[in-house]
Amino acid sequence: MNPPLAPLLSPAITPAWRRARALSALPHVLPGQPPQPARALWVHGRTADGLPLVFEAEAGDIVHLRGGSPDLQRAVLETAALVREPLGRWDVLGLDARGLSPAQRQLLQRRHIGRALLGDALDPQLTALGNVAVARRLVQPDAGDDFDLAALELDALGLSDVMHRRPAQLAAAEQRLVLIARALVGRRRLVVVEQPEAGLSALQITAVRLSLWTAAALHGCCVLMSTDHPRLAASANRGVPLHAGRGAGRWMSAA
C-alpha cells in the first residue's frame, strides 16, 4: 500500500522534521530482529451487539475508525491493543488474540504495541522524559538509547522545554502529548490512539499529525486511531466505517 502523503509543515514545528530525517536513517529492522509481517491486523469479528466487524490493516497504514459511538470506537481500540478479549477472530501482529496467554499479551503490549487512550496515565514519579524513556527500554532493553530517542519524540511534539518536569507540573495538553510520545517511541509495530486531538491546540495537532505520519510512512508502524479532527482523519490512508453506531462495515480505502 502506498503510504499517506507527508503533511504540510509549519515553520514552527521544523524540529519534528529534523527528528523524522534523523530517525529515518536508522535501520528499518534492527539487527537480530526477524522481518516484520506485513499484516498488522486481520479482523473477522463482531461487536457487542452481534454485528460483523471485518477489516485488515498492513504495516505502514494509518487507519481511521469512522462513525460509530465513542464506546464502540473505544472497544475496537482496546481490542486491538489486547486490553479486552476479542469477539470473533482478531489476528494482532500475526497472532490469534484468542489464544494468547497473559504473558504473551504482556510481552506484545510492552514491546510491539503502543497506546494512547483517553484516561491513560503517566507515572507521577518520573519526568516526561523518564516516562518515554522507560517505554523505549521496554521495546528493546539492551539498546542503550532510551533517553536519546525519548528526547527526540518529545522534541517532535514541542515538549523540549518541559521534558524534565513531572506530570503534575505539566498542563493537560502537555500530558496528552507525553502519552502520545510514549506510544510512538521505539518503533512500535502497532500504535493505537484515541482522539489524539483531545485538548490540543492547532499547532500541537499538526505536530501529532506529523509524528503519526513519520511512524507509519518511514518506520512501517500501523496506526489505528479514532478522531473527529478533519486534518487528522485526512492523514489516514485506510478507513473502517462503523455504521449506525453499531459497527457493521468492511475495511475500505479512505475517501
Q: Taking residues 45-60, what's their average pLDDT?
A: 86
Distance CA 36, CA 29 (A): 8
* Nearest partner of 159 among 136, 140, 135, 131, judged by Cα: 131
pLDDT reported for residue 109: 94
Q: Taking residues 48-59, what's their average pLDDT?
A: 86
Q: Is residue 114 part of a domain?
A: yes
CATH number of the domain encompassing residue 43: 3.40.50.300
Distance CA 153, CA 19 (A): 8
Q: What are the Cα distances from residue 123, in Å, to 31, 168, 220?
A: 31, 10, 28
Give pLDDT tens digits for 121-131.
999 999 999 99
Q: Is residue 138 part of a domain?
A: no
Q: Is residue 10 part of a domain?
A: no
Give pLDDT tens digits for 130-170.
999 999 999 988 888 899 999 999 999 999 999 999 999 99
The number of domains in the chain is 1
Residue whose entry in the numeric block shows the C-alpha cell 453506531: 245
Q: Is residue 2 part of a domain?
A: no
Under the banding of pLDDT at 50, 70 and 90, the label for residue 2 is: low
Contacts with 163 (C-beta within 8 Å, 6 or more apart), sequence order: 127, 128, 129, 150, 151, 154, 155
Distance CA 251, CA 198 (A): 25
| Cβ neighbours, 10 Å, residue 185 | 26
Find the domain containing 97 and state its range: 36-122+188-253
Q: Is residue 235 part of a domain?
A: yes
The C-alpha angle 68, 74, 79, rounded to 5 degrees, equals: 115
Q: Is residue 90 part of a domain?
A: yes
pLDDT reported for residue 46: 84
C-alpha cell at 153: 519524540
